[in-house]
Structure 1
């Protein structure tokens, strides 16, 4: 099954750079994350990363109007045509230059790409029967500098292009007689956005210095007439040559514009209005803008993290708010105009703001710098990560989103772990503290410190959750605390180098510590914390871990080897040389494994380190089973595996030269150790590496903290056909025949031999509820484990909660003793079942609490109304009594008056 693990999701990073986009229904945000695309469902509060990736970081994404296709372009201009329905790459294309923006026409028939100072219009793929998916229609030249933005009219007849030369150009998508091109000047800075008014040629342009220009046109879209290819009258040919130059060739039709006063024959007259945004100094540049045509709402984002909402064309300020202290890199509005998405590349933030209710719909932020460590909760529902930014984040494995962040640490996090209960997170940091966090109240309830300041680089918690140990990298000591009291119990000394890793035995109170002094020491926690054994290594110890049954110890060393030891006899049983499996790229750096983790069954070990590869080894056979390439992003260092002769110079390969700002003279290659120019600029690319990795307790997935983020590889996201004991008689027809004959056991056996998920689910849900114990009792032993695993998988997603719970209960009650004898093999299945049950329990508990609250509120409200109604009835009765008494008195008085008259 290890061969079937595939990339499932990317946590820990929500936005890097590029433009944000909303889906067609406006319920999902599509965000570029490095060289991948993530889709965040705002209705269901889930995230998904598409299984496609580019060779470098993505700079722009264009979505088709129907929401079925996306064009993804990276830094070098390499483009992918991706189907958002099948999540597959349909076509590869290369624009050969960096692309600044890309935009589909509203009718979906064409799209415009801007690179350098040219706008290229292509036929949209799928609209015509062409061999090539990208067919160039026209090339538009006009701006003198790089283009920045695009916008189309609603009827797809014209489009506008903004440029860094402070001008905006309006081009016709067809040969219009009265609009070939038009140049608009008047700004004093780079054009950030240009937007057409709804069903009009009126235009709004926004520049970086905070200036809005309103351009009005006296030509309506309906007045544009198509130009026909007829013989030109004498004297008109020369005039047309001045205005436009069209040539046919490989570039399609080329239209070259000329800046200047437009001719009368274009019949366009512009009246310019200027509005200025309130700014506070030069640092508050306008960096992003978006316009919603139906509601006339303009959203502008600034470098200080402030955004404004204005209503156009009156320029009325509706709303202004500071949502971040970082530069807003991208802004997008959904189709209804209610939700606004903001992307801040500096901190990796993605925010969705509902401006009418002034509330956050979505607010996520990844780690500011690299992730250092991760840990799974015992039930596999949560993942906790610690980063170099000093933050501890907890992620939900089902939704892929972070739901709590702890910021008590003041320096880098080096290690994180869960206790066995799953409700306490323990973290170690370079700030000299070890902290314990409560997931019930979301607070830091314990802080462990050492007598002398120390930087903790390793951490471990025993099975009971009572002992907390941390290793120091400067004093070479191991500190032990009590979780219950928070007191320091003991300081273990003996290592002669920094303690790199700690690990408690899962079955005994024995602590294993690996150090740079080429030893692994086993400390007995029950015998006065004395050294029980000392294992001598061939190189510096970097990582140590126990097998789940505690009968084996794996140690990774600096020379790239993994050695396996028997902790009872202190003898080495096997070793794996993995240096050649890690070598990649053109660097000559010595690579080694820095993180190890056993699989749930203990037969395989997962290893990762200073490389883009993660390896899975079979412990018994001492061989490589599979090697995962966690990234193909060439924007990271040490990713190129082959020398490119086109990049070879007399100084060496340009691929090995650090990219920087240079010294202002165009010389990119400097002497070693010499850095000139802007000293604050980054002169190196981040190196791809794996800092930590863990197997899920369910055994069906594993996660790794990398330079890209938190990557999750799983078996659940892939379609797997793995038949068991298949022969010619096992067909869907024979299975359904057994169902008609009510032979439930044989139908289940045949379905599991064919092993199609839909068919297995159909057979199980056809079995009557009262027959489930009888069927479970008659199943052969070999199918009990398979059926239990399938029930646990169905229970996680199905709505038939009681039905599948009955299956699980019957299997466990009738075959409990047999399953207990195979506890090592059945453990991942049981943990997956526990994870599903726990998730349903949490959801139902919240629902029941909410319903109880509503019922109590309704009862209290009804009582209050009953009391009020009773008071009103009592008051009404009193009034009636008073009226009767008054009427009686009146009648008596009238009788007396009558008698007196008589």
Structure 2
């Protein structure tokens, strides 16, 4: 249970590619993020990533009308049938080709996928008892080029498909006598979107050049006539009908049919058929050929058309009159996806170039959600001391602060003009210190959201790392070009000293948490320890066998870990400068083979190493990551691999597979070297030797998987990693319920409840925490009378105090019995505080977990108290004004005075209760 960490959330990336969807209630946005799916709850201000992943980046997502099922298709054509209720995968399916779009029928009985130049209709899973969840019903032919979009009529009788061959095809979902297929032209570019009008066969088609065609149908949906079967099909249906009457349990198997739309019908067949005529043609694009239409969405009830363009502009029009409602630019990148919620109030936009997700309320012209990840890869991260926030720095020069509870970024600092190389919090948690390649070290205030200190060196240099001591008064940064360490004062901003001695770039800095000792790692194969109180002179020099890449202290400061270029992690005693052990991690990295590598993955691993290290909260384990998709968790004392976590299984990233696909190897060489898809968005670049990052403006860039930074939460219940995929959070698995402690046959739920009935509360608490079931422990603790908490908390053994405190810390996040659990916490700390001081290092994660929950409640209650205080001041001011008026004009009745007095008393009592809760929290 101690190492049962599992993926819980993905931050730092809000949209990658694919189509956006709103849930059925319209309160959440479903966004594909790489090979994962994130649900943004706009009402409760939370984001949650589903615990599933596809093999490649997600291409399209289709939601069922009831909002319970989703079909997720990746770039390789593999589909996942996902239940959004239980958040699990129900079925796997492969469409044998790249799928462009997918759409459920409004009645939820069927769904259509566009693949190549065909459209395939399947029976929707869950609507019929069948062995296979995906049963092919019909295949529709007609378009000469790739199909691009789908839309259904409201009665699910017909659907329309757009194609790159500039044509729009209307197909019947059933075999209608007067409508089998209908092809519409009129465009001069590829079709981007097509939509049916509400309760009608009239439709709109939009092409890439910004042309909108309005098509009118001469037949209403009720005028479609079902084609009567003839010949052997009629006999077969009659026989099946008789068998169903005899035995209702037998089901008729579906037979796949093919509908082809390329043979010209005769004049006799045209008589009485559905006909379309073009009513009007409008042009959306007013800026020339370079501003192509890229995405569109239509709300049938309010007749709202939203179109997005390659320049980042979007238009709102009212159809069919084509009245312009609004026009706005959200960015300078192409709008990749547009979606409208069910009520028509919110519009979601996705920009794949910037990784941007916006939800806009068009009536009030305000943003409901505005999130954007780092433009380039994230390089470093740091947890706040209470574990509520995570700060990340990226190659794009931005510093972002994320809330771990909501998963949203609430502030972005853009003062750096080059890539950020290091971020850290001070011990108070109110200041962020960052280093950058632009030659500055900056301090940001989280109260006023401003850059209040900028530290620079006498001559321009590039800083590669930063560290702040435990007091928050000394800031140090290492240079990668001058090989020096610069030390500043946080209060004055002055440069205190320049530490020289290293003969290579500084790769890592770390302060001892308990002493004013600074450890610096360098490429010159040494780690130097500097005493900040002794004129900043070198205290010790640790000689290594290879270049040092990362250095970190244990939380108690009694041990130092160093990662070197030869894939080793060495542990040192900083007091005596003695090596205490080492771990060989070359075989644990398990690096993959890139598509353009000339050597195998086994030989490629010899040049890889761990580039980031992090101790766990209790200091017994250490996390290590580097140029690999794996993160290794080691036990420090035993020096063994405890667990290995796989951060990603996305084959759209490079260096993921151990062996290359033989089908890509031809007699002329690797197919990845051939630039076949020059006009496509995805591909493989041919980098120069030694190049780690490609040209971001290039259309052919396949990022390589790597882990740039790792940090454990101060509470010890989760850890975070910055990688090519984004900021991944791994938390302890809360689903594993049974984890007993010193259990024997005498501990059962029945005996625990019997002890409660006999009012033996101490015995019941001990047995409940030995059984270690949360609901039972909650029942026992809440059964204790308030007056007896003091006596019972003092009688608990010291071994169980830590477990009770950990349970209380977890209860603060979910329980409403705030005051009751606060009394328990206060009595336990007052009774056992002196004895627990000897185990302060081991109890530190539990105490910080408590502090995190209390701080969150303090912030919430303090805001409520401020709101009540302002209301009381307002009520008093109003009552004074009324008092002045009453002296001038007598009141008609006494009821008004009684009502106003009752309101004032109610406000005063509510404010007093809130202030009591705030005092209890403090």
Report the Cα offset of residue 679 of structure 1. Answer: 11
| Structure 2 contact 350–358 (Cα < 8 Å) conserved | yes
Aligned to 2:51: 51
TM normalised by structure 1 equals 0.92
Whole-Å separation in 1 of the counterparts to 2:617 and 2:685:
50
| Structure 1 contact 643–653 (Cα < 8 Å) conserved | no
Answering whether residue 277 of structure 2 is matched by residue 267 of structure 1, we say no
251, 254, 261: which one aligns with 2:258: 254
| Structure 2 contact 684–701 (Cα < 8 Å) conserved | no
Task: Within 5 Å, give how 1:436-585 maps onto structure 2.
Answer: 436-585=443-592
Aligned to 2:348: 341
Report the Cα offset of residue 682 of structure 1. Answer: 4.1
| Structure 1 contact 660–668 (Cα < 8 Å) conserved | no
Question: What are the ranges of 5 or more consecutive residues in structure 2 without an aligned counterpart?
Answer: 233-251, 594-600, 892-922
Secondary structure of 2:812's aligned partner? helix
Report the Cα offset of residue 680 of structure 1. Answer: 5.3
Secondary structure of 2:850's aligned partner? helix
710, 722, 728: which one aligns with 1:705: 722
410, 416, 421: which one aligns with 1:414: 421
Answering whether residue 850 of structure 2 is matched by residue 846 of structure 1, we say no
Task: Within 5 Å, give how 1:397-796 maps onto structure 2.
Answer: 397-586=404-593, 587=601, 588-589=604-605, 590-651=607-668, 654=671, 657=673, 661=677, 681-715=698-732, 717-796=734-813
Report the Cα offset of residue 550 of structure 1. Answer: 0.8
Whole-Å separation in 2 of the counterparts to 1:375 and 1:662:
40
Q: Which moved more, 1:717-726 or 1:825-834?
A: 717-726
Deviations 1:61-94 (A, max 9, x none): 0011111111101111011111111111111111
| Structure 2 contact 4–733 (Cα < 8 Å) conserved | no
Aligned to 1:366: 373
Secondary structure of 1:521's aligned partner? strand
Deviations 1:692-730 (A, max 9, x none): 110000011100110000011011554342112233343
Task: Within 5 Å, give how 1:177-192 maps onto structure 2.
Answer: 177-192=177-192
Whole-Å separation in 2 of the counterparts to 1:417 and 1:680:
31
350, 363, 388: which one aligns with 2:395: 388
Aligned to 1:351: 358
| Structure 2 contact 31–39 (Cα < 8 Å) conserved | yes
Task: Within 5 Å, give how 1:26-105 maps onto structure 2.
Answer: 26-105=26-105
Report the Cα offset of residue 317 of structure 1. Answer: 1.2
Whole-Å separation in 2 of the counterparts to 1:208 and 1:561:
55
Answering whether residue 835 of structure 2 is matched by residue 822 of structure 1, we say no
Report the Cα offset of residue 321 of structure 1. Answer: 1.3
Whole-Å separation in 1 of the counterparts to 2:11 and 2:505:
31
Report the Cα offset of residue 192 of structure 1. Answer: 1.0
The 1:683/1:339 distance shift into structure 2, 3 A limit, reads closer
Report the Cα offset of residue 164 of structure 1. Answer: 0.6
Secondary structure of 1:722's aligned partner? coil
Alignment: residue pair count: 855
Q: Which moved more, 1:32-41 or 1:749-758?
A: 749-758
Deviations 1:639-677 (A, max 9, x none): 0123433333235555x658775599xx999898899xx
Secondary structure of 2:3's aligned partner? helix
Whole-Å separation in 1 of the counterparts to 2:536 and 2:686:
55
Q: Which moved more, 1:348-357 or 1:278-287?
A: 278-287
Whole-Å separation in 2 of the counterparts to 1:688 and 1:445:
36
Report the Cα offset of residue 579 of structure 1. Answer: 1.0
Whole-Å separation in 1 of the counterparts to 2:687 and 2:4:
48
Aligned to 1:285: 292
The 1:450/1:669 distance shift into structure 2, 3 A limit, reads closer
Secondary structure of 2:488's aligned partner? strand
The 1:492/1:9 distance shift into structure 2, 3 A limit, reads same
The 1:116/1:36 distance shift into structure 2, 3 A limit, reads same
Secondary structure of 1:468's aligned partner? strand
Secondary structure of 1:711's aligned partner? strand
Secondary structure of 2:335's aligned partner? coil
The 1:450/1:661 distance shift into structure 2, 3 A limit, reads farther
TM normalised by structure 2 equals 0.90
Whole-Å separation in 2 of the counterparts to 1:679 and 1:333:
30
Q: What's the Cα RMSD here?
A: 2.3
| Structure 1 contact 523–531 (Cα < 8 Å) conserved | yes
Whole-Å separation in 2 of the counterparts to 1:558 and 1:784:
44
| Structure 1 contact 180–266 (Cα < 8 Å) conserved | no
Q: Which moved more, 1:731-740 or 1:309-318?
A: 731-740
Report the Cα offset of residue 366 of structure 1. Answer: 0.4
Deviations 1:235-282 (A, max 9, x none): xxxxxxxxxxxxx99992110112768822323242431111152122
Deviations 1:707-754 (A, max 9, x none): 000011011554342112233343333322333333222222222222
Aligned to 1:799: 816
Secondary structure of 1:538's aligned partner? coil
850, 857, 860: which one aligns with 2:874: 857
Report the Cα offset of residue 613 of structure 1. Answer: 0.6
Aligned to 1:224: 224
Aligned to 1:237: none
Aligned to 2:325: 318
Aligned to 2:896: none
| Structure 1 contact 200–221 (Cα < 8 Å) conserved | yes
Whole-Å separation in 1 of the counterparts to 2:440 and 2:418:
10
Whole-Å separation in 1 of the counterparts to 2:132 and 2:750:
43
Deviations 1:109-131 (A, max 9, x none): 11101011110101111111111
Aligned to 1:240: none
Report the Cα offset of residue 289 of structure 1. Answer: 0.5
Report the Cα offset of residue 5 of structure 1. Answer: 0.6
Answering whether residue 22 of structure 2 is matched by residue 5 of structure 1, we say no
Report the Cα offset of residue 869 of structure 1. Answer: 5.2
